[in-house]
Amino acid sequence: MSGPSSPGRLRRFLAHPLTWITVAALVAAALVWFVAPLLAFGDIRPLGDATPRLALLLGIVLAWGVAAAVLGWRKGREDQRLVSALRVQQVESHANQDRHRSEVERRFALIRRKTDETLARLGRDGGRGRIGRRAFRLPWYLVIGPEASGKTALLLNADLSLPFGPPQGAGGPTEDVDFLFAENAVFLDLAGRLTGAGGEVADGQVWLRLLDLVRRLRRRQPACGIVLVLDAANFSRMGEEARRSLAKTLRLRLDEAGERFRARPPVYLVFSKLDRLLGFSAFFETTDRSEREAVWGMPFLASEDEREFTPDERFRIGFAELARRAAEWRLPRLQEEPDARRRALVYEFPEQFAALGDLAAPFVQILAVPHRFDRPPYLRGVFFASARQGGPVIDLVGLAAGEGFAAPSGLPRPGEPDPTRSRPFFLHELLASLAPGEALRGGLSATARRVTQSWQMVAAALLVLLALGLTAHWIARHQAASAYAQSMQNDAAALRDRLSGTRFGPRLPPFLDILPTLNGLRTLEGREPGKEAERVADVPMLQSEAGRAYATGLDRLFMPYLTEGLQATLASEATSAADLYRGLKLYLALSGQRPLDTLDLPHLGAWLAQVWLPSYSEADRAAFAAHVAALGSHDVASRSADASLVADTRRRIAAYTLSQLALDLAKARPEVAALAPWRPSDHAGPSGPLALARLDGGSLWDGLPAFFTAGAFRTVALPALQAGAAEIERDAWVLGSSDGTASRDILDGTLGLYSAEAIRLWDGLLSDLTVRPMPTAADGARLLSLLVTAPSPVTDLLAAVAMETDFSPPAAQAAVAGAVASALAPAAASLGLAAPVDPGRAVTEAFASLRRATSAAEGSASQVAGVLAAFEPLYRQLNHIAKGGNVLELGTEPQTVSAQIDLLVAALPPSLQPFFKRLQTAAMDLIQGASGERLREVWNTTVLPACEAATVDRFPFSARAARDTPFEDFKSVFGPQGQIASFRDAYLKPLIDTSARPWAWRPGRPADLSIDETALKGFEQADAITQAFFPGGEGPAARFSLLPISLDPKAQAARFDIGGQTLRFAHGPAVPVSAQWPPASPNAPAALTMTPEIDGARNMAMGEGPWALFRLVDQAVSRRLVDGNALLASFSLSGRSFVVKLTPASTRNPFELKMLDNFRCPRL
C-alpha cells in the first residue's frame, strides 16, 4: 500500500538540505575517527590519540546542530510568510464572498420584488384571486440565451396578445428577469448574463435561485418549456471553439434547470436575427402575413427514438428539408423580383441559409447529446426567426470562401440594401400556438411524479388513520344503549309525524313511494337492542311504541292499497277462479267477517306479491308479503266490503266447478310450487339430448310439472288436492254458504280433473317426441347407432315415463288396503257407502299399454326394444352409404326392412307410433335421397359427358355450329341401345308414365330423388329423336320423298341433289322422287341449283358433311310442317324461289330441326 508513495518521499528526503549536511557530518566524523590517526608529521601523530579526535567529533556535532538550527529558522520564516499570505487571501476571499453574497441578495430581492409586483397586478390577494389562479394555470416558459441574442425583441415583436402590455423598461437590456404575460402563456425573459459563459459567480447563483423560485411558485409544473434564443449572425461569426464552449455552457444551464425543476421541459432552440443573413430581406419580401406568422423550423417528434438518431442527425435531416424548401421557393421569387441586384440576393439566400445549418449541427449535437448519467435535455425542435430587420448583414458564403483565399473576414462583396420596413418573421405561431399547445410536455418527471404521489398517499393514509381514530374515540365516548334509545325515539317520532301528515287524494300514489316507509316501520319494530341498551333504556316502551307506529302505518298506508288492489283483482275478467277465491277470502276478512289471524296470510301475501308486483325486485315482493303477514298480528281497522262486488265474485266462482277450484288451489300451494320440474333430458341418458328432440321446437330440458308425476302423487300432489278440497269445505263462508259441499265429493271431482290433465300432459310428451334432424347419411347412421345401441335413450326415456305414469300404490300398501277394504265391504254395503277406489287408477290404466310395451320378462326384450332392433338394418344401410358405398347395390332391401318396421310399429300403443314412424320416415328419406344422389353421380359421370360432347356446339343441335356430330357419337347417345335410353330403362323406367303426353312421373315417385320436370322433358325429347332417326332400330337413317311444289317463273329449272339422288324440276308436272339419308356416300354434299345462272349472284345452296342434307334444309328461308309430318321448305337463290316438300316414310319427321335445336341434355 505504501509502494506508490515511497519514491516521492525518497526524493523529498534526498532533496532536503539537512540530509546532505547530515551525510557530510557523518563522512567527516568517519574520516576523523578512522583516517585522522594515520596522518603524521614525521614521528608526530597529532590525532593518534582518541582525545583530540573526540574533540573534533564534538565540533562536527556542534556544527551540524548550528546548521540544522539555521535551516529550521529559515523554514519557520518561510512558513510564517506563507501563513500570513494565506490569511490575507482568506480575508480577501471572505470579503469577495460577502460582496458576491450581498450582490446576489440585492439582485434576487429585486427579482422577488418584481415577481411580487407582477403577481400583485393580477389580484390583490397576491395571485390567489381568479386572475391570479389563471396566471398560475397558464404555461410558463423560460426565455434564455446569450446577451444581445434578441430575446426581448422576439417576445415583443411576436404579435402576442399582452393584457398588461410589455414590462417596464422593455426594449433595453434585461435586468435579470422580466415577466411578460400573454393571453395563453407567461414568458420569463432572463438576462443573457445569467446563462452566458464567463460571467460572474453571482450570475450563476442568481440563476440557480431563480430556478428555485420558479419551482416554489409552480411545484407541479415549474416550467412548461425553455426557449433558447441564439443570435444567428453572432453565432456564425464565432469560431468553432467558441461555439463549442457556448454549447457546453448552455447545456450545463439546461441540465441545472432540469435538476432543479425535477423535470425535463421541452427546449425550443430559436436562431434569431435571421435577417442578418445576406439575402433574407429580399428573399422574404413578398411573404404575406400568414406565411410570416408560420413556424420556420424543424420540430422533433416526441415519438422519435433518441437512441436511433443522434441530435445532429435529426437536425441535419430536418435542416436538409428546410434548405430544400428554400431552394424550391427560389425560382418563384426570382420570377417575382424585377431588380437584378435583389434577384442575385434572392438567388444566394438558400446557400447562406444552408451554410448556417453546417455551423449549427455540431452545436446541436453538444447541446442535446445523451450521456450515461442522465437523460439529455428534451430538444423539441430548432426554429429560425427574425423579430425586426436592421443591422449589418453577414455573408456566410463569403466567410467560408474567404478562408481559402487567406481572407478571414470574407471576400469583399456588395451588401444588401436596408429593408424598407421591419416586420416579424416566423414568430407568432411558435410562441402563440406551438409551444403553449404542448404545455403538458413539461410536467413532472417520472421520479418526481412518483415522489409526489407517494407523499399524497402517505398524507391520505394519515388522514384516514386520523379519521378512524377520531371515529373510534367518538364511538367510545357514547354508550351503545343511549345511542339505541335516542335513535329509536327519533325514528319513531319522525315516522309518527310522517304518518299523521299523510293525506290521500282521489288516487293513491305509487306503491313504491310508501314501501320504504313501511319497511322502515317494520325494521323499527323488529330492531333488537343491545345488552348495553337494556341497562339504561326503557326497551319495552320503545318496542311498544314502534309496534303501534307500524300498526298505524299498516292501517293508514298499506290497507288502502291492499283494499283497492283486491277490488281491482276481483273485478277483473282475467282473474282465474282460484285467484278470485283467494282474493275474496282476504277481502272479506279485511272487512271483518273473519279474523285475519285465521288465514294463511304468508301464503296469501306471497301470492299477491307474485300477481301484483311481477316487475318489482325480489326484495320488494318479499317485503310486500311480510306486510301482508303482519296484518294478522297488528290491529287494523276493518274496511266495509262492496256488496255488489262480493255478489258478482261469488257468482263468477259458482260458474266454476268446485273440483277445478280445488285443483287450482292445490297447484298454488307452496309445497307444490317448490317441486322441481320433471325434465326428459334427466331420464334419457347421456346420449338423449344428442338423438332426441321435440316436435314443437321445445327442448328436452323443458320440464313437465312434477305435480303430475307418480313420484310426487302420494307425497305431495294427493295431500295438496285433499287440502284444496278441505279448504273449500272449511271456507264455505267465502262463497256465502253456511253448509258447504263435502270435501269427499269435491276431492273425487278434483282427482278426475287431475287425472285428465296428467294423461294429457304425458300423452302430449309422447306424441311430441321425435329425433333430431339428420341432414346427411353420416348423421343418420350416428343417430341410429345411439338409438339401437343399449342402453338406448328411447328405452330409458319411455321406461321413465311408464314409471311416472304408474300411480298405483306400492305392493305392500296395496295388499293392506285390499284386506281392509274386503273386511269393511259388508259394513259399507249395509250403510250404502261406496267402496274406496284407488285415486290414481285412471292415470295408471291410461298408460298400461305403455308399461307393457316397455317391460319384458327376464331374459327377453321388450316390445319397444324389438322395434328398435328392427331399425338396425337401416343403420347398417345408412352406414354403408356414409362410408361411400354404392346405394344402388342395396336394391330393394331398404323397402323390405321398412315394411317389416311398419308391421312392428302398428303393434305398438297409439301414443308411441308417431315417434317410430318419424324415425322410419327420416331414415328412409336419407336412403332414398342417397339413391337420388347416386343416380345423379352415375348420370353426371357417364351419360352427361357423352351427351354434351355430342350435342354442345355441334350441328344439327346448334344450327350455327361449324362442327358436326359424328354418326357414331349420335348413335351411341341417341340410339335405341344408346346411353340415354339405357340409363332411362335401367333406373327410371318404373317411375315414368310414357303413355301420357307429355310424359309424367308415376304416382308414388320418391320426392327425394330430386329429379324435376325439366329433366323428364329432356328424356322425352331424347326418345323423340331416337324414334325419328332410328325407325327400324338401326341408323341414324331416314327414307323420304321429294316433291317440287313451285318454282319462280324467273328460273328455268331447279336441281335438288342429295349425294347423287337428284330431283329436277322445270315448271313441268310435279313428280315425287324417293330418297334416303344418309346417301350411299355419307359425306357427299347436298346442293340446290337454279338455271339460268345469274352473274355475280348466288346460284347455288349447298350443305356439306355427314349432315349435308340437314345443313341444306337449314338454309331454307322458311320451314313448316304440313299434312301431319311433311316438311314444306322454301329456298331463295338470287331472288328466285323454289318450294319443295319432304315427306318422311315414318311418323316422325327427322328434318324438323327445331326438335334437334331445342334439345338440351337432361340434368339430374
- pLDDT value at residue 170: 57
pLDDT of 974 over the 70 cut = yes
Please write down the long-range contacts of 182-185, taking CB distance under 8 Å and 24 or more positions apart.
182/431, 182/432, 184/138, 184/139, 184/432, 184/436, 185/138, 185/139, 185/140, 185/141, 185/224, 185/431, 185/432, 185/435, 185/436, 185/439
Q: Residue 165: is its pLDDT beyond 70?
A: yes
Domain CATH for 260: 3.40.50
The reply to whether 920 falls in a domain is no
The CATH number of whichever domain residue 1115 belongs to comes to 2.60.40
Sign of the dihedral defined by the CA atoms of residues 99, 100, 106, 109, in that order: negative
154 and 244 part of one domain: yes
**Given this model, what pLDDT does residue 1033 score?**
76
Of 365, 387, 385, 363, whose CA–CA distance to 376 is shortest? 365
Are 934 and 1066 in the same domain? Answer: no
pLDDT confidence of residue 420? 63
Task: Please state, in angstroms and as integers, the Cα–Cα distance from residue 716 to each residue in 642, 749, 817, following that order.
Answer: 37, 18, 20
- Domain co-membership, 432 together with 472: no
Give the tens place of pLDDT for each residue, 1098-1115.
889 999 999 999 999 999
On the question of pLDDT at 171 being above 80, the answer is no
Q: Supply the pLDDT for residue 124.
A: 42
Of 639, 663, 678, which marks where a domain is finished? 639
In a domain, 809, yes or no: no
Task: Give me the residues paired with residue 228 across strands.
Answer: 144, 269
Q: Note whether residue 690 is domain-resident.
A: no
Residue 166 CA to residue 144 CA, distance in Å, equals 17
Give 995's contacts (C-beta < 8 A, 6+ positions apart).
none
Residue 603: count other Cβ atoms within 10 Å of its Cβ: 16
Predicted confidence at residue 785, as pLDDT, reads 86
Measure Cα distances from 448 to 140, 368, 651 in Å: 19, 22, 86
Tell me what pLDDT residue 289 has. 87
**What's the rounded mean pLDDT across residues 1027-1037?**
84
**439 and 485 together in one domain:** no
In a domain, 815, yes or no: no
Same structural domain, 184 and 310:
yes
State the Cα–Cα distance between residues 136 and 626, nearest whole angstrom.
Answer: 61
More confident position, 850 or 12: 850
- Asked if residue 213 and residue 154 are part of one domain, the reply reads yes
> For residue 835, what pLDDT is reported?
42
Task: Please check whether residues 1009 and 1113 belong to one and the same domain.
Answer: no
* DSSP H or E stretch at residue 73: helix 50-120
Domain-located, residue 902 = no
For residue 412, being part of any structural domain is answered with: no
> Of 760 and 898, which is predicted with more confidence?
760
Bigger pLDDT: 296 vs 372: 296
Same domain, 461 and 439: no
Same-domain check for residues 1151 and 1009 = no
Give me the number of domains the chain comprises: 6
Contacts of 521 (CB under 8 A, 6+ apart): 495, 546, 549, 550, 553
Task: With respect to residue 633, please indicate whether it lies within any of the assigned structural domains.
Answer: yes
- Look at residue 1072 in the predicted model and tell me its pLDDT: 92
* Domain end point (choices 89, 111, 144): 89
How many Cα atoms sit within 13 Å of 757 on the Cβ side? Answer: 18
Task: Band the pLDDT of 1075: cuts 50, 70, 90.
Answer: very high
Residue 985 has pLDDT above 90, yes or no: no
User: What is the per-residue pLDDT across 610-668, written as a single tens digit (0 to 9) for each?
Assistant: 888 888 888 888 888 888 888 888 888 888 888 888 888 888 877 777 788 788 888 88
Eight-state DSSP code of residue 308? T
pLDDT at residue 1000 greater than cutoff 70: yes
Q: What is the mean pLDDT of the chain?
A: 79
Lowest mean pLDDT among 194-198, 423-427, 451-455, 538-542: 538-542
Cα dihedral 365, 371, 376, 379, rounded to 10, equals 20
Weakest-pLDDT range from 244-248, 249-253, 596-600, 765-769: 596-600
The residue behind cell 305414469 is 805
C-alpha closest to that of 393 among 277, 520, 559, 537: 277
- Shared domain check, 286 and 142: yes
> When comparing pLDDT for 459 and 4, which is higher?
459
Q: Clarify whether residues 33 and 155 are in a common domain.
A: no
- Residue 44 confidence (pLDDT) above 60: yes
Tell me the per-residue pLDDT of 584-593, one tens digit each, with 9 for 90 and over: 888 888 887 7
Query: What pLDDT sits at residue 502?
Result: 56
Is residue 743 one of the residues assigned to a domain? no
Q: Which three cell numbers stand for residue 220?
A: 407541479
> Same structural domain for residues 381 and 519?
no
**Average pLDDT score over residue span 715-727:** 85
984 DSSP assignment: I
Confidence at residue 1057, expressed as pLDDT on a 0 to 100 scale: 93
**pLDDT at position 1032 over 50:** yes
Q: What is the pTM of this model?
A: 0.44
Domain boundary among 603, 618, 639: 639
What are 620's three cell numbers? 320488494
pLDDT of residue 539: 60
Q: How confident is the model at residue 829 (pLDDT cuts 50, 70, 90)?
A: very low
**Domain coverage including residue 465:** 451-477
Mean pLDDT of 1014-1039: 87
Residue 1164's pLDDT band, with cuts at 50, 70 and 90, is confident
